Amino acid sequence: MIFDTISSDSSPLRSAIDAAWLADESACVKALLQQVTFSGEAQSRIDGLARRLVIAVRENAEAQGTIDAFMQEYDLSSEEGVVLMCLAEALLRIPDDETADRLIQDKLGAADWGRHLWHSSSMFVNASTWGLMLTGRIVGVDDEILRDGHSFLQRLVSKSGEPVVRMAIRQAMRIMGQQFVMGATIDAAIKRSHEADNRDCRYSFDMLGEAALTRSDANDYFNAYQNAITRIAAIVDRQLPLFARPGISVKLSALHPRYEIFQRSQVLAELTPRLLLLAKQARDAGITLTVDAEEADRLSLSLDIFDAVYCAPALDGWNGLGLALQAYQKRALFVIDWLQSLVTDVGRMIPVRLVKGAYWDSEIKRAQERGLEGYPVYTRKISSDVAYLACAQKLLAASDCFYPQFATHNAHTVAAIVELAGDLPFEFQRLHGMGEALYREVTLSKEAGGLGLPCRVYAPVGSYQSLLPYLVRRLLENGANTSFVNRITDRHAAIEEIVSDPIVELDGLDVKPHPHIVLPRKLFGNDRLNSRGINLHSALSLAALEQQLSLFIEDSAVVTQWHAAPIINGVMIDDDDRAQLAINAPANHQCVVGDVVNATEVMVAEALASAAESSAQWSSTAAEKRAATLEKAADLFETHCAELMALSVREAGKGIADALAEVREAVDFCRYYAAMVRKDFSIPQVLPGPTGEHNQISLHGRGVFACISPWNFPLAIFVGQVCAALAAGNSVIAKPAAQTPLIAARAVQLLHEAGVPGAVLHLLIGSGRTIGMQLVNDARINGVAFTGSTETAQTINRALAQRSGAIVPLIAETGGQNCMIVDSSALPEQVVIDVMQSAFNSAGQRCSALRVLFLQEEVADDIIEKLSGAMAELVVGDPLSLATDVGPVIDQAALETLQAHAQWMQTEGKLLYATPLPDGLECGYYFSPHLFEISRLDLLPREVFGPILHVIRFPSDGLNDVIAAINRTHYGLTLGVHSRIEATVRYIQQRVRVGN
């Protein structure tokens, strides 16, 4: 078995969950509409109750929650609403006043606050608007804050205290935060829950915080949960039924720094006992514990852990372990089936919190970027509403198995739940700070005209600094002008629209998926297909991939057939000059034992002659035919995806995810250049001119291109260079890196199979100093495409310059010091996530990998601590394992270069952290990720290609010095910026000289 991340539960019910992950949306919606039906009388009752709720809320608008009124006025359809979201998310975490002032000026200065004045009946909203309007006028002064470091705001500062504006805005953000957070501590939250206005509700307390990045973070969250349970236990009335008592909600990603499916074995071993401890503590405290829902990629792992804890004999007799379920996922109904089977086997009820879901935007974007066959969520809001009712119906139908908890702010959904439930036990839930007006009618006694139904408040607990990521999700989820929270109190919105039946509306649509959210494969419209991805988080997808990969990874008969030799005129030429290629060690599943034939001078001459002779005919080949050939090649690369991935793993040491990305990028290159050749080469462009003249521009190939590619992207860059040259009508001689000829040979074979004539595309294998320079110096080479070191590019450039005749173009992508600039407005957790990915993925062997991290002094210590903690969790090892984060570097020379640099850095810099190398990696070229601090950028004379990251601190007024230092390196392929201040981002973008 190659992968160890596949769930051990391969039961039909778990398989059904997995199969529904990316299921056809039209089929899913059809099934929903067949499942959820109401009689005419029931529909009438639902409509009547929904109208009654909306009317009651509007009549009591003066009692509307302040945040509801505020969000209605400043919804995310307005520029001002977006501004406030950005400001609230960042301001309270900025430690230095100067950056805080820049953020306030950036966000408030350009907005039109006056148009919101006196729109709302809420005095809170109007007072807030007045303050924002005045502040916007103050901070809107044109000011070169980045040049001299002193803003107009700072000139208002009295010598003895903070600027009035900054202090006022910070206080306003705290007030805004109070609407969402129950209390800064669990004691404060409990005290607030006992206040007069809150006594009618039940509570589920959640310790605020996002996913843990370090072991220390996870321990802090675990201790916070334990303390919260202890504090809640002290106020529990054990005379009440279990489900009428307060409870706690737990986020699994907060309890482990690597809560992801690729680390499944580690997570199960370490997190399951932790959750069981919390569950036993909650049981002893007499309260419930609910496992929160997270991103779609984590659902399978969540179910594995829930299964293990729920089935533990230690919890016998306790019905308090619950699970949150997202109805917007296509898998939700199948999860209910699986949960019901658990209850049947174990015999304990499961409380299920049914939510619609809070990560919709992210799920759509991830599926598009990964090129998946579909989406894990429904693309229409009304489809999620109908799915919610289908799930509700299913939960209520199994009332002996579940205690349903319906989390919704939608009046029609509330009315439909009341109709579905009848006399069955259940409760509603809402977010703290939202929906108070609606649920005042729900919880009000029947004698007083309400529904007399229980409602539990999901109550976040934590500091304002912990609030921000949570706040953003809440604002995105409920702040949009289409959300029910906004529309229910908007008297301009017709009641008929607000309480419309989503079942009727969805059934009436001819096209069930959203017409403007195309499938991920159609992301680029009619120009080209998106490359096909593989859902590496799915057990079914992994099982299929494992079966395909095993043929090439484990079958020695197939592996020994791998062979690389020069391919000239479409024929692979065998020779006695064979070299056995063995990269790294067999123990690492990387050893490639195959034949590699290096090109001779005779072979080079033959390839040059053939390519030169065929170039004119290929250039005159119709652009449509060239485009179709490249598209056929893309299809073939996708067909042979597993084989090409296996080659990338075994020859280049790529990890599984990187190997898949390598194939996808090669496919994208083929289709991109096919689209470009259709656009630019098909029809000459006619130019205007004087009467009687006919002027036009047409594009043609230059002749023969030498394409010299690197080992770090042995398929993607190799194919990209070759396809660009072929698309433009050139014949090509491709010379891959000496370390990765097998991948190149297979790619050329597939290009020939797609229809590229053998005389047009040739492959030469050998040293760059011999074969490469022989090509560069030959007069028949009309252009060179090169990716590699700056030194080699300069050597090629000088050689081309010395040739007589026409000037020969050199298209070179070279290395450089890739930097990231982080100011104090950045979110440290997101910085660490991005730095880890950029600096250490692919063992730091990407052209675009992060080499130097500039951190503003005020946040440097915190980010370095988090970064070091995250590095401690990296897994270095066999690239064939999905659990591996960092595989080997390419060869012994690369390893020795990294070791020498690390030794030099011990004297010139300061070692902040080095990830330990695990035992058993004595064979192979493994180098652990290193983090060094240095004083200045010019200590690094050249790029070091591997998992070494350098940190440089800079003061808040030192941005210009950072930019100057980066520009003095002459070239950087990429630059990253982490700042919430748009003016800062634009300032850097306009001044830094980098490629991307």
Q: How far is CA 198 from CA 188, 194, 448, in A?
A: 13, 6, 18
Both tokens of 896, joined, read 């020795």
Asked if residues 192 and 198 have their Cβ atoms less than 8 Å apart, the reply is yes
Both tokens of 285, joined, read 């405290």
φ, ψ dihedrals at 753, nearest 5°: -60, -30
Whether residue 847 lies in the annotated active site: yes
CA triple 651-655-656, angle to 5 deg: 105
Strand boundaries in 270-326, DSSP class E: 288-291, 321-326
How far apart, in whole angstroms, are the C-alpha atoms of residue 876 and residue 916?
8
Both tokens of 234, joined, read 């002290």
Strand boundaries in 202-341, DSSP class E: 202-207, 247-250, 288-291, 321-326
Enumerate the H helices of 490-561 as residue ranges: 495-498, 502-507, 539-553, 556-559
Find how far residue 476's CA is from the centre of its chain. 17
- Would you tell me how many other CB atoms lie within 10 Å of the CB of residue 20? 18
Burial track 555-569 (b if 16+ CB lie within 10 A, e otherwise): eeeebeebbbbbbbb
566: three-class secondary structure by DSSP:
coil
Strand boundaries in 561-628, DSSP class E: 563-564, 567-568, 571-572, 578-581, 594-597
What are the DSSP calls for 100-141, one per residue? HHHHHHHHHTT---GGGTT-SS-HHHHHHHHHHHHHHHHHTS
How far apart, in whole angstroms, are the C-alpha atoms of residue 273 and residue 888?
33
Q: How far is CA 794 from CA 82, 787, 815, 971, in A?
A: 48, 12, 12, 13
Active-site residue (options: 373, 847, 858, 943): 847
**Which residue from 206, 359, 217, 184 is spatially nearest to 292, judged by alpha carbons?**
206
Q: Which helix (H) or strand (E) holds 355?
A: strand 350-355
- Give me the long-range contacts of 377-382 (CB less than 8 A, separation at least 24): 377/296, 377/328, 377/329, 377/330, 378/25, 378/28, 378/29, 378/328, 378/330, 379/25, 379/513, 379/514, 379/517, 380/506, 380/509, 380/512, 380/513, 380/514, 381/482, 382/502, 382/505, 382/506
Both tokens of 681, joined, read 């080469």
| Cα dihedral sign, 152-154-156-162 | positive
How far apart, in whole angstroms, are the C-alpha atoms of residue 982 and residue 311?
51
Active-site residue (options: 270, 419, 546, 813): 813
Query: Residue 377 carries which DSSP code?
Result: B
Strand boundaries in 804-939, DSSP class E: 810-814, 819-822, 852-856, 910-914, 930-933
Q: Which residues form the catalytic set? A: 813, 847
